[in-house]
Amino acid sequence: MTSPNDDSVHSVWRQGGDALKPLPLAEIKSRARVFDRAIGKRNRREYFAAAFVTLIFGLYALILPDMLLKIGSLLVIAGGFVMVWQLSRRTSRPDPGAEAADVRAYYRARLVTEERMLARVGLWYIGPLIPGLALFMAGLAGQFDSALGFAAFAAIPALVILGIWLLNRHAADKLRQQIARLDNGPEGEWK
């Protein structure tokens, strides 16, 4: 077999695809001022989830009679706000200065940021919700006839939270492997 001809490969590549649609400079400057647009889009799913939690537990706080349930609901809402704040703070923001670095250095820095975020998810993502959920569950405990029934009920959210924590820890492990692969590639692979 013959090796591919560079010009042919380049030619094939250049034939496809649409041309870039340039943004007007005024639009670019406007978007540059609204710097967090991409981050806002990226975290939209979490923001919707937080809004849903606020709505549901807000209703609970209004209509449920028990004081523990009311306080627990309000603490869950507060925890949701803390979680969203932490999410927007911890997701690395595009940095126009850093983006001019060589792509390997930039990629490694991004992986490290993501790894730290996922490895500590118990602290900033799950942790803020725990006090409110614990209080809410304590408020519900009195409505169960048996401790076993309550334990079975409480196990459901506990398992969901455990699952989220384990999934994120697993993702952090994979990111650590990627970082190690970058750092410990074959001798001479990286400058």
Partner 1 sequence: MTEAEQDQAFSDAIARFGDAIARMARGYEADADLRRDLEQDIQVALWQSLAGFDGRCALGTWVWRVAHNRATSHIIARRRHTQRHWSNIEDVDLAADDPTPFERATSEQATALILSIIDRLDPPDRQILLLYLEGVAAAETGEITGVSPEVVATKIHRFKTMLTRRFARTGDAL
65 is an interface residue for partner 1 by CB under 8 A: no
Regarding 187 and contact with partner 1 (CB under 8 A), the answer is no
Q: How many residues bind partner 1 (CB under 8 A)?
A: 55
Contacts to partner 1 from residues 22-61, by CB under 8 A: 22-23, 25, 28-29, 31-32, 38, 41-42, 45
Residue 63: CB atoms within 10 Å: 10
Residues 6+ apart with CB under 8 A from 125: 83, 86, 87, 164, 168
One-character DSSP codes across 60-108: HHHH---HHHHHHHHHHHHHHHHHHHHHHHHSPPP-TTGGGS-HHHHHH
Least distance (Å) between residue 28 CB and partner 1: 5
**Binders of partner 1 in range 104-143 (CB under 8 A):** 104-107, 110-111, 114
> Nearest approach, Cβ of 165 to partner 1 (angstroms)?
16
Contacts of 63 (CB under 8 A, 6+ apart): none
**Where do contacts with partner 1 occur on this chain (CB under 8 A)?**
1-6, 8-10, 12-23, 25, 28-29, 31-32, 38, 41-42, 45, 91-92, 94, 96-107, 110-111, 114, 178, 181-182, 188-191
